[in-house]
Structure 1
Amino acid sequence: MKITLTCLWMLSALTFSHAEIFTAMATMKKALDIEQQFAVELKSYVPLIKDKVRSEKVARLAEEYGRVANLSLLQPEAYLANPVNAYMLCKRFTADLKEVRELLDSPHLQQEFDTLIATHRAEAPDREDFDGVIEALLRLQDTYEIPCIRFVDGTFTSDVNSPRMTASDCFEIGKHAYDRKDSYHSLLWLLESVASLEMEGTYQSMDRVLLLDYLIYALIDQGNNYHAMHYAQQLLDLKPANPVTVDRIASVIDWLHAEIAKENATRLAEGRPIPQLDILPPVSNKRELSAKHMGKEYVKYEALCRGEDIMANPYKHDLKCYYSTSDGNPLLLLAPVKVEELYKSPDILLYHDVISDGEIEMVKNLSTPILKRATVNDPNTGRLIYSSYRVSRSSWLYDRYHEAIVTITKRISAITNLDMTSAEGLQVVNYGIGGQYEPHYDHSRDGVDGFPVTQGNRVATWIYYMSDVSAGGYTVFTKVGVKVPPIKGAAAFWWNLKRNGNGDSMTKHAGCPVLSGSKWVANKWTHIIGQEWRRPCTLNEHE
């Protein structure tokens, strides 16, 4: 029997516009300015609140909002590069604002507060952003195999620290997972919330009754009936004010007694010992993976993202670094480019220092106002759709937008010796918190996601890396085990098609989740039309 949580009080978040902030950092900086304004307004409410306890809580919240806002605005990019900071920012604008509003003890103050929220509706994180940033944290936790405690105490990377997460912060993640029937992550974070609550002093960040209520059901979902009984009795000892809660938990205890009796009878019949209620066994928490996440390719993808060497490079001793003028191209004679070979067959190259800081800032400035959540092509309908396996924001820049884009395009052509007539525009992508692109091909395969006949298939990919990423964010090739680090100013290049025009199956690649930092890239896809004399076929039909 599985008890369904039907009667718990649910926190309902304030509704803002759909901003999709969680997918990138570029639009989150505005929220920091708004938070500073909120702190000032909340301080002005304090003397107007009649109830002393509520007034003190609002004063404390206003002080915290102001302290965090002032600190974060000193170095906004560094602050938001930390996924825990970004999570807390979204939480303050959603779940925490609900609490703030309820503390205002007059309709007049609540109306003023609602007006303040409405003023910034379009630029503030909304509930979808909050849900998205939680999913990002869970994605990072799974991909990089990070225990909850390392997020809680801010030590999830070697060079980034964040403030300690409260019991309330942990609870919201556990609640989110529970509401999505993800009992594995729910139990991890609810248990962490209990541990954090034990460490909090006089001011506790959340209601223990609510926390234990969720935890009991999460434990039952994973078959931990003894632990559920333990916490259910703890909850009743707290004497909840709501009689409905008391009756429901009492019924849960009766059900648990019956289930435990059945389990013990089975143990006796099998000759196994019966656990003692005062000595709890280890918590069982099994993660159920989808077929995709259990597949060999996805396992390789996550291992590569963690920096593991999953297969030997057969060309390791043949790889070299050198300067190239691309067969004497006039644009490169006086400034040859630095090339690092990463793999052969397919050729995967990393060009160093091929875009300047000034050009990077120009590209960012041109693209930021038009960034939109990235889409993928649905092979069933041919339409562009949002997808959980590609989490980023992107925009397209064309040569006609600015002469800097023309210069960048000419440089790619000079280095690769490819004609840019049929090439796509420069796609600028910002991967924010947990931003990723799971394993995929860039070229069309077997007629799927076909391109116009005036372009033909994507013959090659060029990726400019426009930021240094503190942790994560590698481009990885799952078929050959290559890991490309996102080095600012560098560019990766590879051929998607063989010389005979067929796709190269070894070019399947992915963008790993960004663990810390903000990853900016610019993609340039060159198509096969126009390359007949630039990259001709050989006499070998298989090449």
Structure 2
Amino acid sequence: MRIAFIYCILIILFTNCQSNEYSYADYDEYYREYYTEMYSTTVMGSVKLYKLEQEFMQILKKSTIELQKQINMIQIYLKYFKRPKCSNQNECKKYVAKPLNAFRLMRRIHQDWPQWLKLIKSGNEADYIKQLENEIVPKLPESHDMLEMLKNLHRVETTYGIRVHDYANGKMPKTQSNWTLTVRDCVTMGNYGYQIHDYQRAGMWYQYALNQRPEVNGESYKQMLGDPLDHARLKYAQTILIHAEVHRNEPALAMQEIRDEVEQVLSEVDAKSINDLVNDRLHQSVTEFELNDNQTTVYNRYKHRWAHMSGCRGMFRQHTNLVCRYNFTTSPFLQLAPMKLEEISLDPYIVQYHDVLSDNEIEDLKREGIKGTMINGWTSLKSSNATENESRTIVARVAIMSPSLEIVQRINRRIIDMTGFNIEESKTIQLAAFSVGGFFMPHYDYLYDRLLDTDVLKKLGDRVASVIFYAGDVTEGGATNFPRNQLVVQPKKGSALFWYNKFDDGSPDPRSLHSICPVVVGSRWTITKWIHQDSQMFLQPCSLQPSSST
């Protein structure tokens, strides 16, 4: 009876459904409408909802823990990264003028910040993220910026012979910085030395990095930035073997051949053997890298530039028999306002004028130079030879200052008073800014045979003399070096250096060879004027080249 009743009810229900005006599109819709449990309709449904929320909260907790780890990591990094605030531009300049500060800044932005950027961008569409991507990221330094910074630091290190331990701890030849290099910084320096085949310096940097205590919160950094020592032990082992092989076989094998051979051998050796080799060297009080870091070895490696390096290192004897005096005679104006002149050398003639540029004039020049177009000054023109281009590097930012500027006209009048030369046909001057590592290798200002390749200069004649104004003091480095005369002139704000490039008969004077020592701390601002020969036709003496100078 009960079964029959249920059957009748089902028939009624089915009949009602079929006759209903609302028809379902398909069975699934129908099923959802009727068979999906509604949490709001029963107590049990609410209980299930409660449990579901509990599961969701557990997931959120896990997510919060991970996010908190990331927040903690960022807070630790920001605390470690703490640096003095620059309340004005001069304070900022003072901070980045120190080589370690400039290098660490470049390395962090180039290597570390992209990793932090990935972290904060992850799943985040906030406005400040979009601002970061649109306004900040396009301005980040590229790989060539990092490469130039490493070139500059390596140049300072090798030119002045700074020990790795001292360099890493901010000890320069004459100044001491409070900032030190991290393990990541040291490994980056080692990697650059390895890249340019300076295995001795690379080995010392790897050795120093591997001997350092673990960084505070180092494990947190590793999670985000990776382990800086991941490949350092292998690289250190490679430098040990390459360095030993170079000293044993030089010059029988090319450097690249030795490197390829060593890398092949170590790729077939087990990790324990490599670790044993590394640990053995790390425990030695003095390694072969340091034993070979003596003057003889350095001379053999850099003999083509040893005179330049000797001058920069302060190895030339001091000249004490020269005098300072006032120059009244070069122009009529000097009889009213004589200039202070210091004799640097009488043969060849090199003098330094003092207090010939005021602070206001210097600021005017810098302002005009920065406002105009300053370009990169390279060591040489780009060549079709790829090998030659590898050695090209940026040495300064330069600007050609127009003679229409009132400040340039004043400086030109001063050059006439100092030198007695005619500069009517070439009134432009060159403003240059050398930062940390900025330099110039030994060179001549005269062009001689090269003059034929330059149409403009053929009309002006060769560079008979040179004048360099120092538009600022340099904390350390940046000296003008005359290696053949064993003379070094330190930059002094407001002074000007003047010398001849040619003899009176127009032949080049090889003693005018000069260079610029790398800037160690600070910046080197200069104004350069080359005085051309053709305008001096009625001013230059007709005497012959002295026999003693040939």
Q: TM-score, normalised by structure 2?
A: 0.73
Q: Is the 8 A contact 1:430 1:519 kept in 2?
A: yes
Is 1:467 paired with 2:472?
yes
What is the letter of the counterpart of residue 253 of structure 1? D
Q: Which residue does the alignment assign to 2:410?
A: 407
Structure 1 pair 202–106 and aligned structure 2 pair: CA distance change class (3 A): closer
Residue number in structure 1 paired with 2:327: 324
Partner of 1:211: 229
Residue pair 2:73, 2:220 contacting (<8 A) in 1 also? no
1:219: Cα distance to partner?
2.1
Partner of 2:448 in structure 1? 445
Contact 2:339–2:354 at 8 Å: present in 1 too? yes
Could you tell me how far apart the structure 1 residues matched to 2:220 and 2:418 are? 57
Indicate which of 122, 128, 143 corresponds to 1:106: 122
> Quick check: 1:429–1:522 contact (8 Å CA) kept in 2?
yes
- Are the structure 2 counterparts of residues 72 and 448 from structure 1 closer, same or farther at C-alpha, using a change threshold of 3 Å? same
Q: How does 1:131-210 map to 2 (within 5 A)?
A: 131-196=147-212, 198=213, 200-203=215-218, 207=222, 210=228
Residue identity opposite 1:430 in structure 2: A
TM-superposed CA distance for 1:220, in Å, is 2.6
- Tell me: CA distance 1:144–1:290, structure 2 relative to 1, closer, same or farther (3 Å): closer
Partner SS for 1:468: coil
In the alignment, structure 1 residue 434 sits paired with structure 2 residue 437: yes
Q: CA deviation at 1:422?
A: 2.8
Which moved further from structure 2: 280-289 or 449-458? 280-289
Residue 380 and residue 421 in structure 1: after superposition, are their counterparts in 2 closer, same or farther (change >3 A)? farther
SS of the counterpart of 1:332?
Answer: helix
Partner of 1:363: 365
Instruction: Check whether the contact 2:483–2:514 (CA below 8 A) recurs between aligned residues.
Output: yes
* Counterpart secondary structure, 1:187: helix
Residue identity in the other structure for 2:237: L
**Contact 1:371-1:393 at 8 Å conserved across structures:** yes
How many equivalent pairs are there? 454
What is the SS of the residue equivalent to 1:301?
helix
AA in 2 matched with 1:215: R
1:252 aligned onto 2:269: yes
Residue of structure 2 in register with 1:481 after alignment: 486
Partner in structure 1 of residue 95 of structure 2: 79
Would you say 1:304 and 2:293 are equivalent positions? Answer: no
Q: CA deviation at 1:278?
A: 11
SS class of match (1:503) = coil
1:517 paired residue among 516, 522, 536: 522
Please give the alpha-carbon distance, in whole angstroms, between the structure 1 residues aligned to 2:145 and 2:452.
30
Question: Which moved further from structure 2: 53-62 or 334-343?
Answer: 53-62
> Could you list the runs of 5+ residues in structure 2 that have no partner in the other structure?
1-62, 245-264
Q: Out of 291-300 and 84-93, give the one that drifted further.
A: 291-300
CA distance in 1, matches of 2:196, 2:114: 21
Distance of 2:475 and 2:522 partners within structure 1: 5
Q: By how many angstroms is 1:158 displaced?
A: 4.1
Query: Which residue identity does 2:132 align to in structure 1?
Result: L
**8 A contact 1:424–1:526 mirrored in 2:** no
Question: Contact between 1:356 and 1:489, CA under 8 Å: does it hold in 2?
Answer: yes
Higher Cα Rg, which structure: 2
Deviation at 1:446, TM superposition (A): 2.9
Residues 38-73 of structure 1: per-residue CA shift (max 9 Å, x gap)? xxxxxxxxx999522111112233455564455786
Q: 2:207 is matched by which residue type in structure 1?
A: L
Aligned partner of 1:43 in structure 2 is: none
Give the TM-score of the pair, scaled to structure 1.
0.74
Q: Cα distance, 1:101 vs. partner?
A: 2.2
2:248 corresponds to: none
Instruction: Note the C-alpha offset of 1:430.
Output: 0.6
| Inter-CA distance 172–447: structure 2 relative to 1 (3 Å threshold) | closer
Alignment CA distance shift 1:278-1:70 (3 Å): closer
1:61 pairs with 2:52: no
**Stretches of structure 1 lacking an aligned partner (at least 5 in a row):** 1-46, 227-247, 261-274
Match 2:510 to one of 490, 505, 509: 505
- C-alpha displacement at 1:376, in angstroms? 5.0
| Residues 250 and 165 of structure 1: CA distance in aligned 2, closer, same or farther (over 3 Å) | same
* Whole-angstrom distance in 2 between the partners of 1:52 and 1:488: 53
Structure 2 partner of 1:398 = 402
Higher helix share: 2
**Equivalent residue, structure 1, for 2:341:** 339
Offset at residue 290 of structure 1 (A): 12
- State the partner residue of 1:92: 108
CA–CA separation in structure 2 for the residues paired with 1:194 and 1:397: 50
Q: Deviations over 1:95-148 (max 9, x none)?
A: 111221243372325996475144135654332222211221111111111112
Alignment partners' CA distance in 2, 1:205 and 1:179: 29
Q: Contact 1:390/1:436 (CA < 8 Å) preserved in 2? A: no
CA contact under 8 A between 1:58 and 1:103: conserved in structure 2?
no
Identity rate, percent: 25
**Counterpart mapping for 1:43-58 below 5 A:** 51-58=67-74
Give the Cα separation in 2 of the matches to 1:110 and 1:178: 42
Go from structure 1 to structure 2 and tell me whether the alpha carbon gap of 1:364 and 1:299 turns closer, same or farther (over 3 Å shift): same
CA RMSD of aligned residues (A): 3.9
Conserved in 1, the CA contact under 8 Å of 2:369 and 2:431? yes
Report SS of the residue matched to 2:235.
helix
Aligned residues of 1:346 and 1:506 also touching (Cα < 8 A): yes
Deviates more, 1:473-482 or 1:58-67: 58-67
The CA distance in 2 between the partners of 1:352 and 1:133, in whole Å, is: 33
Q: 1:279 to 1:165 in 2, by over 3 A?
A: closer
Q: How far apart in 1 are the matches of 2:400 and 2:280?
A: 64
How much does 1:346 deviate?
Answer: 1.3
Q: 1:121 to 1:443 in 2, by over 3 A?
A: farther
Q: Which range moved further: 161-170 or 96-105?
A: 96-105
Name the aligned partner's letter for residue 396 of structure 1. Answer: I
Q: 1:538 and 1:379, CA in 2 relative to 1: closer, same or farther beyond 3 A?
A: farther
Alpha-carbon deviation of 1:280? 5.4
113-122 or 187-196, which deviates more? 113-122
1:75 is paired with a residue of what secondary structure? helix
Confirm or deny: 8 A CA contact 1:82 1:160 kept in the other structure: no
Q: Alpha-carbon deviation of 1:279?
A: 6.9
- Cα displacement (A) at 1:174: 1.8
